[in-house]
Amino acid sequence: MKSTTHTTQRISNPRAWAWAIVAAVGLSLPVQAVVSIDLGTATVGELQKAMESGGLTAEKLVLLYLARIEAYDQKGPKLNTVLTLNAKALEEARALDAERRQKGPRSPLHGIVILAKDVFDTKDMPTSGGFKPMATSQPSRDSFVIERLRQAGAIILAKLNQSDWYGVAAPGGSTWMGPVVSPYNPKKYGGGSSSGTGAAMAAWFGTVGLGSDTSGSIVNPSAHGNLVGFAMTEGLISRRGMMWSSPGQEKGGPMGRSVYDCAAVLDAVAGYDPGDLITESTIGKLPDRPYTSFVDPKGLAGARVGVLREMFRSGPLHADGLALAEKALVDMKAAGAVIVDPVTTGLNLVETQNDGGEAKYSRALAIDAYLAGLPADAPIRSVEEMIAKGGSMVKPVIIETAKIKSLDRHAGFAAIKEHQEMLRAALVGLMDKHRLDCLVLPYRTALPQDYTTDARVNGSSGVSNETRNTLHSFTGLPTIIVPGGFFPSDGMPFGMQVIGRPFSEPTLIKVASGYEAVTQHRKSPALTPPLPGETLTLDLLTSTR
């Protein structure tokens, strides 16, 4: 009589499934491999395996996320992240499930649920930037990024609240829906401007989120949300159909709970778009295999990592953050990284980075270019009309930059572009000089501000100039932010940042995933605990030998 081995385990890595099977088969026993995955920790790859096994469908996945939004967005902690839900999300999920059964999956994102910051045009949902007068502004087509994701089989479940793109609002909030609440500490600022994406992804309202970055707006809420955030090389991802404030700095990118998930989205959205000619720079620069293939739990072994000490602040305000950063460096070295510490440019980077922002000149012209592409019946189609209809609600910086009619021979704008090039050359030169794979630095070492003490807040970013690191934004260099622990005094997350050369995304993914694997700092917030049914038990294999 044959005996049967029944293996049940909870996993966070799909490789564990294979090893459990191999171990049992080695004993020459029939195997029934039963695994369980949790919605809050499952990666894109694990969700795909669950769908392939028949234990999960896209429809069920959407229903699970809708239940979380119902429980925690306007109830419970009231995170206030969702502006608009896709009314046809379940219909789309059912169609994708049927397609999977008939033809197989389109891509690794087939049936995966995406949440989008409300700066990405969607043909089936309004795009407002959080600005109340544009709450009904309906684009006629999808942005490039949304289009690519839908072609890959992803489901766009919701458009998210954010730091208001055009209006004066509380830090991290909008004139349409008010402030976004951090699920880690509701009294603390959760990071802007992609604040809704940061909070929604931390509370796992979707599988992967989309943010955008002009001067830190992907890395900032990713750091505050205990997330991974990708702000990639300028030109790698098209901005067509995106609201922007600065064509020379604007980047869209994924924000998620793992490096793998963000890499899976990058595989779908990176590349050439004739509608945004800055993407011509990608020709010949894309890797010949998927970005997900560079995820490596041993990715730090042998990596040459330079510590950019010039971006480490000092003083009591930064004590806890500096301790977390030092612990991160110890962990990297223990994982096999060659730590080159310090590396310096000889510049006062903390101060001089603030001279690299071009939006103070280009904002109104950039906004005009976006608004002009909206349908004729859009509520606002020019900055002039915005100021007329919005009045005192409109940001003063928009009113001020509206006075600039051309940047062709604008001395201030030309000086900014020259300064950006100087910063970029200094950082790339530093990496070349020391033969580095990347530079590392903490995104910020000061405690996140309380909502009630925002006197130091700078514009829509909600982060004071004294504490934020924006070198990647002003240089066009790629960066990845990775969870690095928690501030002991308030429980808010801390993030470590890696910066690389142009188009060095494969290297950054390898390094970031290596750090992620050895530290495992990702923790779910207590304010949004798991709901019943979010642990999926899957019978993946029955085999005899």
Q: pLDDT-derived band of residue 25, with 50, 70 and 90 as boundaries?
A: very low
Query: How much is the pLDDT for 33?
Result: 67
CA-to-CA distance for 212 and 253, rounded, in angstroms? 6
* Spatial CA neighbour of 208 closest among 244, 140, 277, 158: 158
In a 3-state reduction of DSSP, which class is residue 207?
coil
Least confident stretch, 9-13, 41-45, 179-183: 9-13
CATH architecture of the domain with residue range 60-519: Alpha-Beta Complex (3.90)
Residue 58 has pLDDT above 70, yes or no: yes
pLDDT 10s digits, 236-259: 999 999 999 999 999 999 999 999
Among 14-28, 218-232, 510-524, where is mean pLDDT lowest?
Answer: 14-28
pLDDT of amino acid 347: 95
Residue 468: per-residue pLDDT: 75
Average pLDDT on 430-449 reads 94
- The residues of the chain that CATH labels 3.90.1300.10 are 60-519
Average confidence (pLDDT) over 77-90: 98
Residue 537's pLDDT is 85
| Phi, psi for 457 (deg, rounded to 5) | -65, 135
pLDDT-derived band at 540 (thresholds 50, 70, 90) equals: low
- pLDDT of 210 > 50? The answer is yes
pLDDT band at 541 (very low <50, low <70, confident <90, very high): low
Give residue 53's pLDDT.
93
| Confidence class for position 539, pLDDT limits 50, 70, 90 | confident
CA 443: distance to chain centroid?
Answer: 14
pLDDT at 315 over 80: yes
Residue 57 pLDDT level (bands cut at 50, 70, 90): very high
pLDDT of residue 215: 93
Give residue 32's pLDDT: 55
Burial 180-214 (b: 16+ CB within 10 A, else e): bbbbbbeebbbbbbbbbbbbbbbbbbbbbbbbbbb
pLDDT, averaged across the chain: 91
Residue 51 has pLDDT above 60, yes or no: yes
Residues 33 and 537 sit within 8 Å (Cβ to Cβ): no
Helix (H, G, I), strand (E, B) or coil at 193: coil
**Pick from 343, 340, 373, 335: which is nearest to 517 by CA?**
335
Residue 449, classed as helix, strand or coil, is: coil
